[in-house]
Structure 1
Amino acid sequence: MKLNHLRQNYQGCLQRSELCSDPYQQFEAWFGDASTANLQEPNAMSLATVDSDGRPSLRNVLLKHFDDQGFVFFTNLKSNKARQIEENPNVSLLFSWLGLERQVIVSGKAVLLPRADTLRYFLQRPRNSQLGAWVSHQSKVIGSRELLEQKFTQLKQAFASGEIPAPKFWGGFRVEPGHVEFWQGGANRLHDRFQYQLDSNQQWQIERLSP
């Protein structure tokens, strides 16, 4: 199949003078733009991890919180991604907002959140999402979807009254970045790329990258 005809000519532009001095503030501004642009799940991000043999894995997860400490997501702690993070905490995130001709790439270390933070977030989840966390033994082989649905029904009955407790095998990670890149598509493939890099004094330095 020939794909040469699939070509989008971007028209954006990003100047150094437009950037915030702090990558978290810049991310907040761009995330706000993505949220108001009616993009589907603007908080979706691709998470890259590496296993003990150096083989990379990539999947989409949802950003659930961000501040000047990093970017937070939640998952089953027995999943492939969680086991790989335990072996090698170096990860990368990609926010792909192509409807705005933008991407953000975050590189850093994933740190397990305190249990109190996980419990606080779990209680805010919709009840069916809480049940889903109990049902799924993420990344494990399963015979059929019917088995999942049966277990969901059983647990829904078991937890019919009162709060649903957070599973001990479910938790959150914060990605603490050392590098953040903001990419804006430009005409003639002359894209604008700026990277924020932490120096030895833990100060953010901003550099323009060639497209």
Structure 2
Amino acid sequence: MSLTVDLASIRKNYSLQQLNENSVAADPFQQFNVWLQEAIQAALPEPTAMVLATANQAGIPSARVVLLKKVNPEGFLFFTNYLSHKGQDMALNPAVALTFFWPELERQVRMEGTVEKVTESESDEYFWSRPLGSQVGAWASPQSKQVTSRQELEEANQLYTDKFAGLTQIPRPEHWGGYLVRTHLIEFWQGRPNRLHDRIVYTQESANAEWQISRLAP
């Protein structure tokens, strides 16, 4: 027996916290780190998970969840296969957007900016910090390409497992590495009662300009 749920009736009234211009940090990266640490300390599932939105040359968008691996005043860093769907999008159109959602804290953070590859040494450093199985998987998986079956992936994984057996350090594939998202807009959203949510946005006109802080209507 199937259960039909009235989607229009699903709602939640947010009431945990508030956010205002006078309480946020002057620097958006400092503010983000405060919220990220609170999400980690709250033991939320996958607190570093973020939705990465890209678009191809024709402007057709696509989105998926990736994991944040570093944040600093330069931007937000993640790693992936350069030949994947998202990698091909970013090679043609560097404009991207990121979204974090921590529902247990009734919070969301979104960013807009441009993406660029990190240095090979940065990609090497992170690649070699990954579990051995994940390193092998980066070789075995032709990410975003069609495969005939799960067995094809398993066989490729075994092939590279055997190939690299006995090595103390697996080489990083040239098609795998890191990206840095340089943001010019970062918005912090705090759920509030009756859908009158708090939205504080930081914008930057140029790379070295001061961040401007303003409030948006919910």
**Corresponding position: 1:48 with 2:53:** yes
Partner of 1:13: 18
Task: State the one-letter code of the partner of 1:96.
Answer: F
Query: Which one of 185, 203, 208 corresponds to residue 179 of structure 1?
Result: 185
1:155-185 CA-partner distances (Å, limit 9, x unpaired): 1111111111100110110000000000000
Tell me if 1:210 matches 2:217: yes
Matched residue of 1:17: which SS? coil
Gapped runs of 5+ residues in structure 1?
Answer: none
Structure 1 position 59 matched with structure 2 position 59: no
* CA–CA distance in structure 2, aligned partners of residues 120 and 49 of structure 1: 26
Displacement of 1:4 in angstroms is 2.4
The two structures, once aligned, show a CA RMSD in angstroms of 1.0
In structure 2, distance between residues paired with 1:150 and 1:40: 32
Look up the match of 1:156.
161
Q: Which one-letter code corresponds to 2:91 in the other structure? A: E
TM-score with structure 1 setting the length: 0.97
Count residues with an aligned counterpart: 211
Instruction: Classify the secondary structure of the residue corresponding to 1:83.
Output: helix
Matched ranges for 1:179-198 at <5 A: 179-198=185-204
For the 8 Å contact 2:50–2:98, the answer to whether it is kept is yes
The residue number in structure 1 matching 2:92 is 87
Structure 2 unpaired stretches of 5+: none
Helix, strand or coil for the counterpart of 2:166? Answer: coil
TM-score by length of 2: 0.94
- 1:134 matched residue in structure 2: 139
For 1:143, the equivalent position in structure 2 comes to 148
* C-alpha contact (below 8 Å) 2:141/2:156 kept by paired residues: no
Q: Deviations over 1:51-97 (max 9, x none)?
A: 11111000000101111110001111101101111111010000011
Identity of aligned residues (%): 45
